[in-house]
Structure 1
């Protein structure tokens, strides 16, 4: 029996529709719509598609990191002479990799969740080939480098954990689950205060069940693809506190499969070499039962915890609490802390390999 109809792909149908049109202007208009990047409508307003001129307003001082898909530069704005971080991302890569949502997250958080402990978002623009994001130049390195550099005192740990807590609270009040809290993403600014960065994995809403983030700082419910909410971020905070105290995150093992097994089968052991208040806070942050985790009922459970005795939360909120570490920076373009981060990353990777 013969086939009663033909099957065409969407692309073939689009071409046939164009062929049927008589008006040349209409043909050209439809062709442009068919061939335009769908990414423009998915993560950025089409009005932001511009020529290359804004990109040329920035002088690239130093390439900080690069791969086949993106580059990150220390750059200087020719107008105000200030230094910024410029992210340059290949637009075609975003389209075929499905990472449009991550860029949308970066832009949305940058615009809607501005805060004292959040890396400042300045602007974004898109050209025919690239997407550019301009961010605050945070020069003091990150918390990972600080942990590797020295053994921290309890007072220092208290300061950084409290500031990270304030940053998380700010995101949660804006209906954002961070999902990407790691020591590498906790930046240290020129005055020694923290700034959270990299909001590509954020979730806008009160709950989700997606597997994402750095496995060493994932809450158990994230690893198991179970119900998760803002309390999952506080497990990650506990993992960072654990690393600041002992030099490595909970369950750590350089072999990823062994780590997963440890996390699945073992109970976190907290050495009694630290104070009772530190042990208590760790146990409440790292509770595997999300409904038993600290903060389940009220943020005051954290602020009034004995570990934070003597800390002035009002001063901290205004960034007036004295930081235990002030970066030694000679110029606004000083990047030696960033170079130290890259060196540490290479050493860690060599050890894992």
Structure 2
């Protein structure tokens, strides 16, 4: 359900100390929203469950402290502005945003199934067919973002949410920027490209690097680059030092190695990756498998009906 933006853009007061929807602890009523249970926390803020006062629809509310410095205020508004441009089925939609005396709020859908990170923790590694499907959906989001000249800059399993239909949706545009002269070290180290660590100029290729890290992790249950010592980890990333796992299909190894090129210009575009052999062949195989399962279900039902009819004839 898409809620109208004006619902969250109108000024409103705050009411503390109420309990709503069986959630224990204090809740707040802000701008037609009842904000209650905290469900996540990041560097820049926390995420809460919210409900509209008009109905029981749950939403996710990202709350950040109002910054004092002008460039930080600009960054918050930039996140909302970028997110509003992202109308794609594999990107978490933005319902709206509003500001109170203390906080800046971004309102989005609440997904019960959680993130790709949570899903991977439960399964450890994901089979090649499902990994290809997930990669296809993430790349679909990235192709759209890059067509709008947007670089995500913090792509990781935790920032990929699972929709009600099971499809992946890229989220969290707190570090996203329009493609221009992007510099600075930001993101999560295990998924950070060498040029980000070195604070060099960055482009769409940083998202391509992160995609390769995610594919590696889905297929193996391990980080492509990992070390307990941050300094050693940075050196491994900058040197492109990783070991291809035996569990990774040969066609997927080419995709990963292309994404994890040290030199940004040598990495493929997201459009090229979208039509990579591993993605195309595996998703086609999955579609054929799904169709065969549907056919077998129909045949199975027909066979059951036939057996039941024959049994009835014998008994009568």
If the length of structure 2 is used for normalisation, what is the TM-score? 0.75
Q: CA deviation at 1:184?
A: 0.5
State the shift of 1:118 in Å: 1.1
Change (3 A) 1:67 1:184: closer
C-alpha displacement of 1:206: 4.2
For residue 83 of structure 1, the aligned residue among 38, 48, 58 is 58
Which shifted more, 176-185 or 221-230? 221-230
**CA distance in structure 1 between the aligned counterparts of 2:55 and 2:83, rounded to whole angstroms:** 21
C-alpha separation between the residues in 1 aligned to 2:115 and 2:153? 18
**Alpha-carbon contact 1:176-1:203 (below 8 Å) kept:** yes
Gaps of 5+ in 2: 1-8, 15-28, 292-316
Structure 2 counterpart of 1:305: 277
Q: Which runs of 5+ in 1 are unaligned?
A: 1-47, 316-320, 323-353
Aligned partner of 2:72 among 99, 105, 109: 99
Provide the rounded CA distance (Å) in 1 between the counterparts of 2:160 and 2:118. Answer: 10
Partner in structure 2 of residue 52 of structure 1: 13
Q: What pairs up with 1:218-237 in 2 under 5 angstroms?
A: 218-237=192-211
The correspondence for 1:189, drawn from 151, 156, 163, is 163
Q: Distance in 1 between matches of 2:149 and 2:252?
A: 29
Contact 2:185 2:196 in 1 (8 A): yes
Q: Which residue of 1 aligns with 2:234?
A: 260
CA apart distance, 1:99? 2.9
Report if aligned partners of 1:177, 1:206 keep a CA contact under 8 Å in 2.
no
Which whole-Å CA distance do the structure 2 matches of 1:134 and 1:302 have between them? 30
**Residues 116, 288 of structure 1: CA spacing in aligned structure 2 closer, same or farther, 3 A cutoff?**
same
Deviation at 1:288, TM superposition (A): 1.1
CA RMSD of aligned residues (A): 2.8
Task: Return the match for 1:279 from 240, 253, 276.
Answer: 253
Work out whether 1:163 is the aligned partner of 2:124.
no
**Contact 1:186–1:196 at 8 Å: present in 2 too?**
yes
Kindly tell me the number of residue pairs found equivalent between the two proteins: 265
Q: Which residue of 2 aligns with 1:204?
A: 178
TM-score w.r.t. structure 1 length?
0.68
- The structural deviation recorded for 1:246 is 2.0
Task: Indicate conservation of the 8 Å contact 2:136/2:279, yes or no.
Answer: no
- Call closer, same or farther: CA 1:146–1:52 in 2, change over 3 Å: same
Partner Cα separation in structure 2 for residue 97 and residue 215 of structure 1: 27
- Summarize the alignment of residues 25-44 of structure 1 with structure 2, pairs less than 5 Å apart: none
The equivalent of 1:18 in structure 2 is none
Cα distance in 2 between the residues matched to 1:134 and 1:264: 37
Q: What is the match of residue 187 of structure 2?
A: 213
Matched, 1:74 2:46: no
Change (3 A) 1:191 1:68: closer
TM-superposition CA deviations, 1:103-124 (whole Å, max 9, x none):
1232112211221111111111
Of 196-205 and 223-232, more deviation after overlay is shown by 223-232
Say if 1:207 and 1:230, in contact at 8 Å, map to a contact too.
no
- Residue 236 of structure 1 and its aligned partner are, at CA, apart by 0.4
Distance change in 2, residues 1:248/1:67 (3 Å): closer
Question: 3-state SS of the aligned residue for 1:106?
Answer: helix
- Tell me if the contact between 2:135 and 2:279 (Cα under 8 Å) persists in the aligned partners: no
Q: Distance in 2 between matches of 1:228 and 1:260?
A: 17
Q: Matched residues in 2 for 1:196 and 1:307: separation? A: 18
Q: Tell me which residue corresponds to 2:20.
A: none
